[in-house]
Amino acid sequence: MKTILSTLVLTLIASNLLAHALWIETDNTGKIGKSQVVHLYFGEYAQHERDELSKWRSDLKDLTLWLVAPDGTREKLSIKQDSNEVVSSFAPRVKGVYTLVVSHPLKDLSGTGQLAFLASTHVLVGSAANTIDQAHNKNDLKIFAVTDQDWKVNKEVTLKVFLKDATKAGNTVLVFSPSGWSQELTTAADGTVHFTPLWPGKYVVEAQDFSRTPGELNGNKYTTFWQGATYSFDVR
């Protein structure tokens, strides 16, 4: 009975946390030398809710945004806080696939639990470059599209989830469309899920992991660890 109750509590906690997420919005294509704006939001994408910064959890608004160039070089981008978003920009210097990535453990615990919000997306510069290198995203939990970046309505998209560079069956993936439609999927043994977008626009997908991993943060001990990772991309 204790095991059942414990499982139910963990499920409810994870479901509640999953209601809000951090995600990146930017064009998935760019041009050499042209500045590109990057927006980061916290809220519920499917409900078109982008929370004011005053409602962001703990110190999430002080996140660090990294740009990983096609050759793997990492650059910390400057950020600016606006009313309901964190904003940055960059100008691609060479052709290839650029990775934008955030990994932010909150400084304040949620009860006895540690929370971490992760987000990523890719920017394609030059038509010849369409291969995403998952190794450029160093987050423990990550999700990304493994099909080419020519994302179109009614064309199947394959996503893959990695947890500490390993794949496993049974990970939950949520898909949110710009129309407000959402779908819950479960990864196969190779960490993949598949779905077919029915509307054009930006999609946000989320993977999550919840574990009884104890640790210590800023002198405060925690008994559980939750992390949610999003990936955003445009469908034509």
| Residue 72: CATH number of its domain | 2.60.40.10
| pLDDT tens digit sequence for 107-155 | 999 999 999 999 999 999 987 666 788 889 999 999 999 876 789 999 9
CA distance to 33, 90, 145, 168, per residue, from 93 (Å): 6, 9, 24, 36
Task: Decide if 25 contacts 232 (C-beta within 8 A).
Answer: yes
Domain limits at 159?
Answer: 2-235
| pLDDT tens digit sequence for 194-234 | 999 999 999 999 999 999 989 988 788 999 999 999 999 99
| pLDDT tens digit sequence for 166-185 | 998 999 999 999 999 999 99
Q: How would residue 3 be classed by pLDDT, with cut points 50, 70 and 90?
A: very low
Q: How many domains does the chain have?
A: 1
Which is higher by pLDDT, 1 or 105? 105
Q: Give me the phi and psi of 25, to 5 degrees please.
A: -125, 125
> Which amino acid would we find at residue 233?
F
100 strand-pairing partners: 67, 121
Which is higher by pLDDT, 10 or 207? 207
The pTM of this model reads 0.90
Q: What is the mean pLDDT of the chain?
A: 90
Which is higher by pLDDT, 6 or 78? 78
Task: Decide if 197 contacts 168 (C-beta within 8 A).
Answer: no
Element (H, E) at 57: none
| pLDDT tens digit sequence for 51-60 | 999 999 999 9
